Structure 1
Amino acid sequence: MIDQVTPKTSKVSSKGQVVIPVELRRKLGLQDGDQVTIDVNDNNELVLKKLPTALDWHNLITTIPNEKVDIDQNGHYNPEKAPHFHDWMNED
């Protein structure tokens, strides 16, 4: 279940800046220097999304198996030497 946050009010400064209230920053996990995308949906509502950080990407790719796969001229490989590749090749 998604935690609901009470809608907050913020003003637009003369420079076009908007302060994101602390409760919303915490909910999104926003910290100083984080990048966000801002878009307008079909209902003319602003949509703010946090972009992944370098650490987010690092944590994601460390979970991806990495192994050497030797494939012969006929396209065969040894499943015992490349079990992750074998599992990937046999996914439904």
Structure 2
Amino acid sequence: MTKNNFESLTTRLSSKGQVVIPAEVRKQLGLSVGDQLSVDIDKNNNIVLKSRPTPLEWHDLIKNIPIEDVDIDKEGHYDAHKSPHFDEWMREK
């Protein structure tokens, strides 16, 4: 058994370049029809699929990000008192 609770599974590449993700994997990862996946190649030439956040997950990720207008002049200066969250972000290391 792997750390993913299932043995290594095999799938095939179709003539259209499609790959079926086995049901066990979809279930464990909570993947549903229409979910978006990103496809990458790692340094060992392995294909890496990553699930993309759903619109609801994006909402939950960004809901606590403060919204404020930041006026920056031609020299790149802004008023830290009018844009405290931006100022805090700019000072992070």
Query: Smaller-chain TM-score range?
Result: 0.5 to 0.7
Letter in 1 for 2:35: D
> Shift in Å at residue 63 of structure 1?
3.4
Structural RMSD (CA)? 3.3
Shift >6 Å, 4+ stretches: none
Percent identity between matched residues is 54
Q: Which runs of 5+ in 1 are unaligned?
A: 68-83
TM score, norm. by length of structure 2:
0.62
Partner residue, 2:46: 45
- Deviations, residues 13-71 of structure 1 (Å, cap 9, x unaligned): 1111110011211222211101101111111111000111111111122234568xxxx
Aligned residue pairs: how many? Answer: 89
TM score, norm. by length of structure 1:
0.63
Distance 2:46 2:89 in 1: 41
